[in-house]
């Protein structure tokens, strides 16, 4: 009886174990969400802001975050803002974050594309491409629904994440690249579409294997999404997640590190220790769009008050990271000027002009602009002779620099009429 019982158990195991093994093979090892992003456009798109990228991360809660940053650049140099932001979110939550972008920087592909585009052979191919577009049901259907198929048109209408991650957009770009590959092959005209996406896919799979990921999100420019979705769909060991399963996204509260990044421009947690290598250059680049954007240097009254407040926080972090810098002094003087504290601005500009005369400042912009702004301060303080002297020195310093072509715009009519600053609108 005992022998028969053992035999029955053995037979049962032989039947059950293969079935369990098959079940195990069929079970996905990893769930993946590919989220299409729109890079700098998140900053101006009210329906797909940077905060929504974070909210998708929170809603999906992956153990691995793949970001469109090259490995050699990761956490060392500034990169796409939403990718840096995702890295900060991931690190603050103890998630693995992996860089998965790839492109060959031994050649300027876009510059090469512009040169090749002028060749007769390529001009003929471009005509063929246009003809194929005009006969594609997918492209025609897309344009009928959304209008002309240029991205600027879509962005100008503030379309949200459902558009950028939706079926229509992905089908459209799959078709665009199919035609491009048919006409040009894997070339500069599609930024080596096949090579780049394939290499990125390899980096994604390697990251998943290295981190033993069970749940990964891939953040990538929306034009890549269709490629990665198609590749993951072929993999029986992957369950591809539709972004719509996370909707409604809602207005989930943002973490402190994320808020500091978005509101104050504090991306410090993104960098590895010792990076970025050039601290001065890093902080100057942060201030550039805030208080040196188009026309802001000539018409400071156009600078939004919120920009000035953020710039002050950036400058404070700069001073904490690296005290006593000519760049810091220059930006501090400019912020004082913007805030209409002309006496304090004069004190700081005088420090700079003294160093200029000693030959210790070589940056052409700092040289001529320090004297220019010092002159404007003197005009506002009613010291016209000092102002004229500064304008004259500034005009001499701008000669020989790349800024000389903008001379008439930079100096306006300050030598004829004392500078008066209009009130902020």
Residue 8 has pLDDT above 70, yes or no: no
In the three-class reduction of DSSP (H, G, I as helix; E, B as strand; rest coil), residue 67 is classed as: strand
Name the token pair of 29: 């090892």
The predicted-structure confidence for 94-120, as pLDDT tens digits, reads as follows: 999 999 999 988 888 989 999 999 999
As a whole number, mean pLDDT of residues 49-54 equals 96
Name the token pair of 176: 């665009």
CATH: 2.60.120.10, 1.10.443.10, 1.25.40.10, 1.10.510.10. Which one for 278-411? 1.25.40.10
What is the phi/psi pair of residue 127, to 5°? -65, -40
CA atoms within 13 A on the CB side of 145: 11
In the three-class reduction of DSSP (H, G, I as helix; E, B as strand; rest coil), residue 239 is classed as: strand
Residue 6 has pLDDT above 60, yes or no: no
Percent of the chain with pLDDT over 90: 85
Percent of the chain with pLDDT over 70: 91
pLDDT of residue 25: 47
Residue 24 has pLDDT above 50, yes or no: no
At residue 2 the predicted structure's pLDDT band, cuts being 50, 70 and 90, is very low
The predicted-structure confidence for 187-239, as pLDDT tens digits, reads as follows: 999 999 999 999 999 999 999 999 999 999 999 999 999 999 999 999 999 99
User: Which has more confidence, 252 or 285?
Assistant: 285
At residue 155 the predicted structure's pLDDT band, cuts being 50, 70 and 90, is low
Residue 154 has pLDDT above 80, yes or no: no
At residue 157 the predicted structure's pLDDT band, cuts being 50, 70 and 90, is confident
The predicted-structure confidence for 372-402, as pLDDT tens digits, reads as follows: 999 999 999 999 999 999 999 999 999 999 9
In the chain, where are the structural domains located? Answer: 30-105+193-259, 109-190, 278-411
Residue 310 has pLDDT above 50, yes or no: yes
- DSSP state letter for 217: E
As a whole number, mean pLDDT of residues 165-173 equals 96
The predicted-structure confidence for 328-355, as pLDDT tens digits, reads as follows: 999 999 999 999 999 999 999 999 999 9
Look over the chain and give the mean of its residue pLDDT values, rounded to a whole number.
92
pLDDT of residue 27: 55
Return the bridge partners of 31, or none: 215, 239
Pair 260, 266: CB distance under 8 Å: yes
Angle of helix 167-184 versus helix 120-134 axis, rounded to 10: 140
Which range has the worst mean pLDDT, 15-19, 47-51, 171-175?
15-19
As a whole number, mean pLDDT of residues 280-303 equals 95
pTM of structure: 0.85
Laid out side by side, the sheet with 30-37 consists of 96-99, 64-67, 215-221, 30-37, 238-241
Whether a cis peptide bond, with omega within 30° of 0, leads into 416 is: no
pLDDT of residue 13: 44
pLDDT of residue 58: 96
Residue 261 has pLDDT above 90, yes or no: yes
pLDDT of residue 49: 95
Closest CA to 336 of 324, 328, 346: 346
Residue 11 has pLDDT above 90, yes or no: no
Tell me: domain 30-105+193-259, CATH 3.40.1010, correct? yes
As a whole number, mean pLDDT of residues 361-365 equals 96
């Amino acid at each position: 009886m005992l022998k028969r019982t053992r035999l029955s158990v053995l037979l049962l195991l032989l039947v059950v174990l293969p079935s369990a093994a098959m079940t195990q093979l069929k079970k996905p090892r990893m769930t993946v969400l590919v989220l299409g992003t729109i890079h700098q456009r998140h900053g101006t798109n009210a329906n797909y802001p940077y905060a929504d990228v974070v909210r998708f991360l929170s809603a999906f809660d992956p153990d691995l975050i793949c970001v469109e940053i090259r490995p050699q650049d990761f956490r060392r140099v500034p990169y796409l803002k939403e990718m840096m932001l995702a890295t900060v979110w991931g690190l603050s939550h103890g998630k693995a974050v992996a860089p998965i972008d790839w492109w060959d920087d031994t050649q300027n592909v876009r510059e090469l594309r512009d040169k090749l585009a002028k060749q007769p052979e390529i001009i003929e191919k471009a005509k063929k491409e246009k003809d194929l577009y005009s006969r594609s049901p997918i492209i025609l259907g897309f344009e009928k629904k959304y209008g002309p198929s240029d991205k600027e048109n879509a962005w100008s209408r503030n379309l949200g994440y459902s558009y950028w991650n939706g079926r229509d957009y992905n089908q459209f770009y799959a078709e665009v690249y199919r035609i491009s590959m048919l006409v040009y092959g894997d070339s500069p005209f599609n930024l080596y579409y096949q090579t780049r996406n394939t290499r990125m896919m390899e980096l994604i799979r390697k990251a998943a294997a290295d981190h033993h990921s069970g749940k990964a999100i891939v953040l990538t420019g929306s034009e890549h999404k269709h490629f990665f979705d198609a590749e993951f769909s072929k993999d029986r060991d992957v369950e591809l997640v539709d972004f719509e399963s996370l909707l409604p996204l809602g207005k989930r509260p943002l973490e402190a590190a994320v808020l500091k990044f978005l509101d104050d421009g504090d991306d410090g947690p993104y960098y590895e220790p010792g990076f970025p290598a050039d601290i001065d250059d890093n902080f100057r680049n942060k201030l550039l769009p805030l208080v040196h954007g188009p026309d802001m240097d000539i018409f400071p009254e156009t600078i939004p008050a919120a920009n000035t407040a953020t710039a002050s926080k950036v400058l404070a972090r700069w001073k904490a990271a690296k005290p006593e810098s000519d760049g810091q002094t220059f930006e501090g003087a400019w912020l004082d000027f913007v805030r209409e504290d002309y006496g304090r601005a004069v004190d700081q500009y005088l420090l700079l002009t003294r160093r200029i005369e000693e030959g210790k400042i070589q940056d052409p912009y700092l040289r001529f602009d320090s004297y220019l702004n010092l002159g404007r301060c003197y005009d506002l303080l009613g010291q016209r002779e000092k102002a004229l002297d500064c304008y004259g020195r500034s005009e001499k310093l701008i000669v020989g620099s790349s800024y000389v072509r903008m001379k008439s715009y930079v100096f306006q009519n300050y030598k004829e009429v004392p500078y008066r600053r209009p009130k902020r609108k």
